[in-house]
Amino acid sequence: MNKHTQLGMNRTGIQMSPLDTAKLKNIAAEVPPDVGGNSDVLAAFRGKFVADAEPIGSVPVPGNLKGLVGTAMEKLTGHHIEVLVDKLGERLAFERTGVRLYEAILAKTSALEDISEPLVQALRRFRNEELVHFELVKSVLLQLGADPTAQTPCADAAGVASSGILKAITDPRTTLAQSLDALLAAELIDNAGWELLIKLAGHVDHTEWIEQFQLALKQEAHHLATVRLYVENEILRDSAALR
Ligand SMILES: [Fe+2]
Ligand SMILES: [Fe+2]
């Protein structure tokens, strides 16, 4: 695996073939897009689909009727508990994916020769912490009487949004720096996700959950700062490497 940024025969830019540039411009002028007009026309076209679209899914009715989810709980808190369940479902899916992201990047480091041992140790530790976060969210969902195996709408949307991160890291051709950069995006989302969850958990006034979520956020902040530092280190090292 070559981990350095290299010069090579990249033909994606128009400057590679000045003779074909005019032809390309002519074709672009001759062949109109499928939907004519401008961005306003496109927005109106998309708007029709948005207006007619069904929701992406729903938060399932709790399977366990002894659980805390339900009208009694909502009356108690004045908030819709399904919003909390939806976001817990999203966190659950994201933390599970987080474990897979770290495992994929660890597999990449195993193929590299001059890998930093502290980096590998940090990645292993963060992978284990993502798993602990997953178990924490699962346990809170069960305490709420919700089914942790159900995919909530926010979990679905977040899965689609973060699928590119998984693709970038599992692609065997991406460098360690590129993979860490993708991981950085995941950790930024992770931190914002836990911050929001702490606010939502405040609505149900469950001190123990809030404390556990705050500990998870503290660990996520450490993941973020560390991954950001390693991204910078890798790119600066690449930039300074002797070719
Ligand atoms: Fe996480
Ligand atoms: Fe994390």
Render each residue's pLDDT in the chain as its tens digit; 243 residues: 656 778 888 888 888 888 899 898 899 899 987 767 888 988 998 999 999 999 999 998 876 655 555 545 655 566 778 899 999 999 999 999 999 999 999 999 999 888 899 999 999 999 999 999 999 999 999 999 999 999 999 999 999 999 999 999 999 999 999 999 999 999 999 999 999 999 999 888 788 999 999 999 999 999 999 999 999 998 888 888 654
Query: How far is the centre of ligand 1, averaged over its atoms, from the C-alpha of 213 (Å)?
Result: 11
The answer to whether 188 and 161 have CB atoms below 8 angstroms apart is no
Query: How far is the centre of ligand 1, averaged over its atoms, from the C-alpha of 35 (Å)?
Result: 41
Query: How far is the centre of ligand 2, averaged over its atoms, from the C-alpha of 138 (Å)?
Result: 16
**Domain assignment present for 19:** no
CATH number at residue 224: 1.20.1260.10
Query: How far is the centre of ligand 2, averaged over its atoms, from the C-alpha of 13 (Å)?
Result: 36
**Domain assignment present for 2:** no
**Domain assignment present for 28:** no
**Domain assignment present for 175:** yes
In whole angstroms, give the CA distance from residue 57 to residue 149.
15
Query: How far is the centre of ligand 2, averaged over its atoms, from the C-alpha of 130 (Å)?
Result: 6
Ligand nearest to the CA of 224: 2
Query: How far is the centre of ligand 2, averaged over its atoms, from the C-alpha of 93 (Å)?
Result: 13
**Domain assignment present for 7:** no
**Domain assignment present for 8:** no
Q: Which residues contact 146 (CB under 8 A, 6 or more apart)?
A: 60, 62, 63, 64, 67, 69, 85, 88, 89
Instruction: Identify the domain containing residue 199 by its residue range.
Output: 39-240
Ligand nearest to the CA of 133: 1
DSSP conformation class of 14: G
**Domain assignment present for 20:** no
Cα 223 → chain centroid: 14
Report the sign of the C-alpha dihedral through residues 146, 152, 158, 164, in that order. Answer: positive
